[in-house]
Amino acid sequence: MHRDEVVVPTQIGDAVHGMLTCHAAPLVAGSLRAKGRTTRLAELPRSDDLSGDFDAKLFLVTCSQQDGTTAAIAAAAAPGDALSAAAARGAVEDWAAVSGTRTLLLASSPWCNGAMHAAGAARQAASEYCGTGRKVFVLAPAAIPAETASALDDLGAVITDSLAPVDPGDVVVFPAHGVTAEMRAEATRRGATVVDATCPLVAAAQTAASRSADRGQQLVLISQPGQASTAAITSQAPRHVTVADTATKTAAVRAGDSRQISYLMQPGITLEAGAPIVAALRSRYPTVRGAVPSELCYAPSDRAGTIYSVALGSELMLVLGDPQSTDTKQVCGHARDAKTHVQVIAEVADLKPAMFASVDTIGLAESTSAGAGLAAQVISALSGLGRLSVARRKLNTEKTPVPV
């Protein structure tokens, strides 16, 4: 190894325990890189016989794993390289100091059934058509699972927010949040083969908006800023839909007869966020009714409740994703409602030893902006700090028919 370089082993041989896996290697490497040290991950030979390319001064501690095996936290520096040796020793000691037995509570996937169905439809279309010479375009201006995006790219599909590159005979996949009436008509006009993966709840909302317009009624769409399906719904009933994303926005509704008004809870928002808006609307129009009361989307409320529950049972809540993402900020908000300390993690290197001091239970929730495989990487790294038991928690609302 070279001077001014710290090698962090991913595996290392030990005279007592044999070959040890170093699950915490990304944590140690992250600490070293944060301090400006050049770092390399590698497998090392036996710790009691360092030689050749790996002639080094080694710092190593061991810790027990949940399955009864032993793991190592280690780093090595070239002989005579005092600065690198000090950095290696410091990183190992810092992480060893917070090793121990812990519980990790996982919130359920950030992706609802509608989104996963659309992702599956896109992969199936790409698998079926990309090898035939036909181009496949997936309309996805909103976030899609990172694993799906990677798979589509490998298959040769194109993720786009426009129909501009579509030619006759190309395949277009509509996303879970639907498309506008104009975009649907344009796809037909371009001679594209359409795979409609619109979520059934969004499709029902689109139909309800269209029916309201046909009847000359005013529809109030209970929404939140930035919702992906808003345009897809409002385009079905131009001039007949008022979007209310706050209680005060209901003042914009104008109607002489409340029987000519209905409201629609937009799929994608929590029922808790929509309730105050509905209450404000009913205070003005007491007889207003829901356009499709039996087609409520419970997934956002279930997700919010799950995150809150996980955070409530944790001393530290890790939220995986882009700190600037709207979804990440919403997840953090749900977690902070439980008065739990929250840390946003965009990559494993963002984890710091100080976060885990005196912490026995860690909560973890993914944002839709989290990178592919990030959750698995974080869990693996944390397992390298000692015995880690993992439990998954999910709040699920089930609709049951009423006996007649």
Burial class (CB in 10 A: 0-12, 13-18, 19+), 197: buried
pLDDT of residue 49: 46
Task: Please report the domains of the chain, with CATH numbers, ordered by start residue.
Answer: 5-97 (no CATH), 105-109+299-393 (3.40.1010.20), 113-198 (3.40.50.11270), 201-290 (3.40.1010.20)
Of 119, 174, 125, 128, nearest in space to 148 by CA? 119
pLDDT of residue 51: 45
Of 207, 324, 318, nearest in space to 267 by CA? 207
In SS3 terms, 147-187 reads as HHHHHHHHHCCEEECCCCCCCCCCEEEECCCCCCHHHHHHH
Diameter of the chain measured on Cα atoms: 88
pLDDT of residue 46: 63
- Average pLDDT by stretches of 10, the chain with 404 residues: 87 84 96 94 70 68 91 92 94 97 96 94 95 91 84 94 94 95 95 96 93 89 89 91 92 80 92 94 89 84 97 98 94 97 97 97 96 95 97 91 73
Amino acid at 65: Q
* Residue recorded with tokens 């710790």: 47
Cβ count within 10 A of residue 47: 20
pLDDT of residue 346: 97
* Residue recorded with tokens 């008509």: 185
Amino acid at 267: P
Of 347, 378, 366, nearest in space to 23 by CA? 378
Query: What global pTM score does this model have?
Result: 0.90
User: Using CA atoms, how far apart are residues 7 and 78, in angstroms rounded to an integer?
Assistant: 9
